[in-house]
Every structure is written in structure tokens, then in C-alpha cells.
Amino acid sequence: MTTHSTRMLILGSGPAGLSAAIYGARAGMKPILVQGIQPGGQLMTTTDVENYPGFADVIQGPWLMEQMQKQAEHVGTTLMYDTVVEVDLTRRPFRLVGDSGDIYEGDVLIIATGAQARWLGLDSEEALKGKGVSACATCDGFFYRGKNVAVIGGGNTAVEEALYLTNHSPHVTLIHRRDTLRAERILQERLFAHKNITVLWNKEVAEFVDGGGTAGLVAIDLVDTVTGEKSRLDTEGGFVAIGHHPATELFRGHLKLDADHYLCVETGSTRTSVPGVFACGDVMDKIYRQAVTAAGTGCMAALDAEKFLAEAEFELAEAAE
Ligand code: NAP
């Protein structure tokens, strides 16, 4: 068992955590970043990335994360291959315990543990991920331009994604398991008013249909939740928008979470409910969820953390005089 101590401890190695590390390292914080279960985060399971600024040609998600990781290391971040399983945020330095048994101590803590999209859990969904089935219209909608697509879900995300997809697709079908939407009234009004969107009520996805060869998704088999009637919708894109799981289990009872289990931060900052603990990326953002916004809030967290340390050290120096 080893104890690793740093001024800036970062959890999570997606764009948020690595951006915080790059800024923290360049400010002389010598950050330690604990990578977590999925080093590199959600972009490791993404292929083409066309919307991360700075790259004129299409890049690959894993390549982008490798570059961010190397950049963080080059400027002075220490990366640890470990997963934190226990936290004590009652006093500073904060004390965290890794799966390995190692202890991590940080004067400040930046949480960038991300979120995972929820999936329906069908084998055909798993088989067609990236071949017609996606959980992010903003990321992948452009690849389906000119094609008819469908969105599954009835919350704000599903409705926003359906509206967004009309920018690229001649027709969008929203598939919802009930006969009322959970989304805000104003979004519902926009959805119902859109001539290129059809809503299929009381329908659940039974299977995503593979066209074979390189065709990918060609249809979605549906079952009516009221009558049990089966039907098929021809479509080349299926966007699953049934919510996300932010990785906040570890912080339950230690930090303030909202009703959807996201970490609460003060508006306009990355400050959580415990002074000295900051959150960035998808673990605190249920609206934008983009690599570039995660990187942006990662930068904010490092700057907020630096300011916090500078103020705390100034107060200590004043008290000592
Ligand atoms: P959500 O509000 O939890 O909605 C999930 C939707 O998926 C629900 O309609 C649910 O159906 C459906 N669903 C869940 N499991 C399903 C399954 N197994 N099969 C079929 N359908 C299923 O999730 P969200 O839309 O991602 O939003 C999450 C949070 O972020 C919410 O608080 C939301 O307000 C917020 N958000 C805000 C904005 C914004 O302010 N612009 C944008 C996006 C998200 P039921 O309705 O039948 O339960």
C-alpha cells in the first residue's frame, strides 16, 4: 500500500479530467489523475469524431484520447491505473482509497468521472452500435443526413434529439413507450408542430433489424405496449435517448446530488457542495454532454481549484503573521 499525495487530485480520464490535468499541470500543481474503470472515457468507444474543433479531417475517438493523455503527461501529470472505491471528504487533504489498496491524498479534488448512456439492453442493439444505432444525435446525426431516422424515449433529450435530427433527415419518428411525454411542455409543442416528425405512442423496441452485409440497421421491430400488436418501422438510424447514468455512486452522502444523481455545482462554476471539491464534464452536465463542453468545464475546474488553493494558502499565511 502506497500513499500518493498531490495538490490536485483528479478522478476520471475523459476530456474533462485530462483538460483539468493539462491546466493544473501547467499551473505547477503536479496533478495526479486516477483513470478509473474506462481509461479515456466514452470517446474510447466512439469511432469517427468530426465535431472536436481543431481537426479539419475526421479523427478517431481513441486517437483523440491518446493525444490528450500524452499531452497531460508531457506537461507534468502523473496518471494512475486505479479505480477509487472509497472517499473521505470531511477534511483536507481529501483522502481516497483505490481498488489497488493505494491511498490518494489531494489538497483539492476534481471529479470528472463522467456518465454512461442507458441502453435498452437488446443483443441486436449491441450488435448494431455504430452501424445505425447510437446514443447521441448531436455526435452522430450528421452521418445519417438524407436518411430517415428514429429516436427512442420521451424525455427532454429524446425530444431535443428528434428536433435536432430534422436538420439532417427528411423524416424523424419518435418512439415512446407511453401515451404522454415526460419532456417540457415547450419542447413538446415544438415537436408536435414539426411537419417532419411523427410520434409513435405506446411502442417498445422489440429488435433492431440488421440488413446484413454492410447495410447496418434497416428497420426497428416494435410491439404495442397496450395491444401487444407487432409492427415494423423502416429506418436507417435508431437513436436511443432513454437517459444516462452519471458515475456518482461513490459520492452519495458526501456531496450534493440532484434528483437525476448528477453532481450539483454552483451556477457558473464547478464548485460542488464541499469547498475544495470541483466537478466537471458529464458527471455534472446533463444537457450538453459533448467532448468539447467536457474539456471546457475541465479547464474551468482546474482554474477554480487553483483559485481555491491560492485563497486558502493566502489565508493560512495571514493567520501565521
Ligand atoms: P429522462 O428524463 O429520464 O427520460 C427518459 C425517457 O426514456 C423517458 O421518457 C422514459 O420513459 C424513457 N425510457 C426509460 N427507459 C426506457 C426503456 N427501457 N424503454 C423505453 N423507454 C425508456 O432522461 P433525459 O431525457 O435524458 O433527461 C435526463 C435529465 O436531463 C432530465 O432531468 C431532463 O430534464 C434533463 N435534460 C434537460 C435538458 C434541457 O434542459 N434542455 C436537455 C436534456 C436533458 P417514461 O417517460 O415512460 O419513463
> Residue by residue, what is the 3-state secondary structure of 64-94?
HHHHHHHHHHHCCCEEECCCEEEEECCCCCE
- The length of the chain in residues reads 321
Is 264 marked active-site? Answer: no
- Output the pLDDT for position 43: 86
pLDDT of 42 above 90: no
For a pocket test of ligand 1, which of 177, 187, 190, 244 has the largest count of ligand atoms closer than 8 A to its C-beta?
A: 177
Percent of the chain with pLDDT over 70: 100
- Minimal CA–CA distance to 222: which of 174, 186, 261? 174
The predicted structure's pLDDT at residue 285 = 97
As a dihedral over the C-alpha atoms of residue 155, residue 178, residue 142, residue 42, rounded to 10 degrees, the angle is 60
SS3 40: coil
Question: Given ligand 1 and candidates 178, 180, 182, 223, which is best to mutate, with the most ligand atoms within 8 Å of its CB?
Answer: 182
* Closest atom of ligand 1 relative to the 204 alpha carbon: 20
Q: Examine the pLDDT at 170 and tell me if it is beyond 90.
A: yes
Of the ranges 141-145, 235-239, 308-312, the best mean pLDDT one: 235-239
**Residue among 107, 139, 280, 304 flagged as catalytic:** 139
Looking from the CA of residue 154, the nearest atom of ligand 1 is: 9
Q: What is the pLDDT of residue 144?
A: 94
Residue 251 in this model has a pLDDT that exceeds 80: yes
**How many Å lie between the centroid of ligand 1 and the Cα of residue 260?**
10
Residue type at 124? S
Burial class (CB in 10 A: 0-12, 13-18, 19+), 294: buried
Which residue type does 144 have?
Y
* Catalytic residue flag (residue 140): yes
Mean pLDDT value of segment 273-277: 98
Q: What is the pLDDT of residue 139?
A: 85
Is 136 a catalytic site residue?
Answer: yes
Among the residue ranges 48-62, 91-105, 270-284, 307-321, the one predicted with the least confidence is: 307-321
Helix segments in 166-209, DSSP class H? 185-193
C-alpha cell belonging to residue 187: 419542447
